[in-house]
Amino acid sequence: MTAFEFLPWQQALARDWLATRDRFAHAWLIHGLPGIGQQAFAAAGAASLLCESPQSGLACGQCQACRWVQAGNHPDLRRIRPDAVAAHEGAALEDGDESGAKKQPSKDIRIEQIRSLLPWFNTATHRGGWRVALLYPAESLNTIAANALLKILEEPPAHTVFLLVAQAPDRLLPTLVSRCRRLPLPVPDAGQALAWLQQHKVDHAATRLAAAGGAPLSALEQAQAQQPSVPAWLSLFLDLAGSGGASAPLADALVALEPVVWMDGFQRLWLDLSMATHKLPARYYPEQDGDIQRIARALDARVLAQAGQWLQEQRRLAQHPLNPKLLGDYAAQRLLQAVRPAPGRQP
């Protein structure tokens, strides 16, 4: 994947979007489900806006501007992301710590990062073209930084396009969102996503794609991390739900993961279980359909729904769980309890 290429499922949308570049909005909020490639879309969008000879609107990959973008040194492109994200991408951090002590890189986009853009707005652009500020993930703008950005967007600098990337626009400052044109990215067509995963030699591509809710980049990441196509917590949950075993091993499996990972997984399992109570086949975990149908036959649908609501509430708070260990322990008990056979029913 190169910096200027859209993913296969993004190309048609990208052409339509970039075809309007003569009357382009100065700020876009590009958003969608995690793992479908919002960031790749925004990066390729930036490259296309900067390209000197775009091909049907998309970056050519050959010109001077495209080479600069690829090398990460185009003067008219700025990436604004938390230091922790930059470190993960392998970029050298600009402002080193004078004390020489190792600091945890920030997970926030800080106000200094927004302020440092101000002189840039006053410099001339290369051949009078666009200037593009790529900001991701927008959720990591802290309140002060978000307000500073809002001020900039209220009087937008000339020739400048802001591309903000987000997964959950409802977690952003509403006044900031109202200053941006929204560009929602759809979940890719399963055929295109599968073809792409097969191109990347992903094993059990269909199973992984379904378990990732149709998000190909998440499926690829799991395969590259050599995780099993069926997550360990899921096999464990289904086993324990069937056997009536104690929740401790499940709690251990959950505590070892980022809370959002298992919460998203359980929310998908809950949808599969609730479809199964209506005798519909599993959508996210089709290989586990037998177990899911068996559990669904005996459970109490009301109790299942209550636990589903609890999951949803936890998911909203998941970025900052108070105590992941306690949460994992409690979730394992609570969720297993919710699928126990209702009184008088046999699994």
Query: Token pair 């840039």 is at which residue?
Result: 120
Cβ 303 to Zn ion, closest distance in Å? 58
- Whole-angstrom Cα distance, residue 234 to residue 240? 10
Nearest approach in angstroms of CB 66 to Zn ion is: 3
Q: Burial letters for 242-280: b for 16+ Cβ neighbours within 10 Å, e otherwise?
A: eeeeebebbbebbbebebebbbbbbbbbbbbbbbbbeee
Residue 194 neighbours by CB distance under 10 Å = 18
Q: For residue 82, is the peptide bond before it cis, meaning its omega torsion is within 30 degrees of 0?
A: no
Return the number of the residue (51 or 138) whose C-beta is nearest Zn ion.
51
**Which tokens sit at 290?**
């037998």
Amino acid, res. 131: R
Cα(202)–Cα(204) distance, integer angstroms: 7
User: Which residue number, 30 or 59, has a Cβ lying nearer to Zn ion?
Assistant: 59
Shortest distance, position 49 Cβ to Zn ion, whole Å: 11
The Cα 40–Cα 249 span in angstroms is 38
CB of 121 to Zn ion, least distance (A): 24
| CA dihedral sign, ordered 318, 162, 90, 143 | negative
User: Shortest approach of Zn ion to residue 67 CB, angstroms?
Assistant: 8
Which residue, 131 or 208, has its beta carbon nearer to Zn ion?
131
Nearest to 280 by CA among 264, 267, 268, 292: 292
In the shown chain, the binding pattern of residues 11 to 50 toward Zn ion, with x for contact by CB under 5 A and - for none, equals ----------------------------------------
Shortest separation between residue 6's beta carbon and Zn ion, angstroms = 14
Q: CB of residue 58 vs Zn ion: minimum separation in angstroms? A: 9
User: How distant, in Å, are the alpha carbons of 94, 154, 179, 198, 314 from that of 27?
Assistant: 25, 10, 7, 35, 32
Tell me the CA distances in angstroms from 253 to 31, 103, 284, one per residue in order: 31, 30, 20
Q: Which is nearer to Zn ion, 63 or 168 (CB)?
A: 63
Helix (H, G, I), strand (E, B) or coil at 141: strand
Min CB(59)–Zn ion separation in Å: 5
Beta bridge partners of 163: 28, 134
Interaction residues for Zn ion, span 299-338 (CB under 5 A) = none
Q: How far is the CB of 60 from Zn ion (least distance, A)?
A: 4
Residue with tokens 């666009």: 130
Site for Zn ion, residues 45 to 84, rule: CB under 5 A? 51, 59-60, 63, 66
54 vs 213, beta carbon nearer Zn ion: 54
Q: Binding-site residue total for Zn ion (CB under 5 A)?
A: 5
Whose Cβ is closer to Zn ion: residue 54's or residue 214's?
Answer: 54
Closer to Zn ion by Cβ: residue 19 or 280: 19
User: Which CB, 55 or 319, lies closer to Zn ion?
Assistant: 55
* Closer residue to Zn ion, CB minimum distance, 47 or 234: 47
Q: Which residues lie near Zn ion (CB under 5 A)?
A: 51, 59-60, 63, 66
